[in-house]
Amino acid sequence: MKKWESDLKFRTVDFDATIRRCREKTYPPGHLVYYLRFCCRIKIGKTTDLDARLKSIPHEEILAIEPGDVFFEQILLWEFGRYRITGEWFSQGPELVRHVLELRDGAPWDGIPDT
């Protein structure tokens, strides 16, 4: 277990407030959290070189991108952990789908499940 996981395990986290704080933070240029779709799975990841990262990961669609760092990514991975398939890949659970739709201003994507 990583330190951040054990720290989060023992306290109640207000996810919405944490996300707001992460989004209000200023990140260095190019520090991004991305959401990719491959078949019926969503990958949440972080990068400082999006082009190189996209070339190295199988995906069918870029769902959303937002500024972020490793802490922000880890909060997202923890929050949506109940949908984890393996590693940073998740099923299209309703809360994760809603989160991505909010980032996309409600724009649907190919293969979006009914929520």
What are 24-45's pLDDT values in tens digits? 888 888 899 999 999 999 999 9
The predicted-structure confidence for 64-76, as pLDDT tens digits, reads as follows: 999 999 999 999 9
Q: Kindly list the domain boundaries of the chain, sorted by start residue.
A: 14-103
Whether residue 81 has pLDDT greater than 90: yes
Cα–Cα distance list, 113 to 31, 69, 105 (Å)? 29, 28, 17
Helices (H), the chain: 3-9, 15-24, 50-56, 70-79, 94-103
pLDDT at 41: 96
87 vs 12 pLDDT, higher one? 87
Q: Work out the average pLDDT over 80-95.
A: 96
